[in-house]
Amino acid sequence: MRIILFIIGLALSADGLYYGATTGLGMGEALVVGMGVTFILWSVFYDAAKTNGFLKFLKRLFIFCMAVFVAYSCAVCAIGHMDNSTYDETYLIVPGAGLSGTGPSRVLEQRLQKAVEYLNRNTSATVIVSGGQGIGEEMAEGDAMRNYLVQQGIDSNRIIVEDDAESTYENFRYSSALVGGANTVFITNDFHVVRSMQMAILNGVHANHIGAPTPITLLPVSCARELAAEVATVRYYI
């Protein structure tokens, strides 16, 4: 069991540190590294955690937190794959994510690939690519997303760039003025669908959704970041 705990901790720590080094150490990356370090410490103090009252309490608390995290991650990803698009919507909204240089990150590329599939199927839809220029980014996410779609053969006349949004809430807030009450769908990664649904409703955008897959190595970081963001979402309801 010690070895299993140590391997899990090493894998999580490496995953968080790798994506922290490549995309920036954010909340998700820090949480995953913290999980990994805790697993490693558990393996080191495995016997003591069975007998020492305080360590036993910490172990149980950690197990509870991990159970909540895993349950949350499974639930949001499952819901994220329950697509309900009718493929006859007037507008498609694609919220931004981080960039890799002037191109999309792996997470954002998954969204855009799904968007290309949708736009090739629903040839009358207009797509709104929403995202401003984040810290450390070379350009606005909206502009990078437009460039990617054009390279994939999507007519630039079908693309509206919204380049001011800095959060999921703002993605839908600024896009709501563009779609009005028209029939709308949004595409985002599976782990991000639930919170995007909440932000859409808060901004009066009643949209269908399509979930894009997430690379398996990015799931721990993405779900950890999403859980922290979901907690912070409470402020919009107060």
Nearest to 190 by CA among 172, 174, 210, 204: 210
Residues contacting 81, CB < 8 A, separation 6+: 190, 211
Whether residue 229 is predicted with pLDDT greater than 90 in this model: the reply is no
Q: Tokens 């003025």 belong to which residue?
A: 177
Q: HSE of 9 in the Cβ direction (CA atoms, 13 Å)? A: 16
Question: What is the rounded average pLDDT of the residues 45-52?
Answer: 86
Q: What is the mean pLDDT of residues 32-52?
A: 89
Amino acid identity, position 71 = A
- Rounded to whole angstroms, the Cα distance separating 218 from 195 reads 18
> What tokens appear for 161 in the block?
């760039």
* Mean pLDDT of all residues belonging to the chain: 91
Structural domain boundaries in the chain? 2-80, 91-214
What are the backbone angles phi and psi of residue 140, rounded to the nearest 5°?
Answer: -70, 140
- Asked if residue 79 has pLDDT above 90, the reply is yes
Domain 91-214 part of CATH 1.10.1060.10:
no
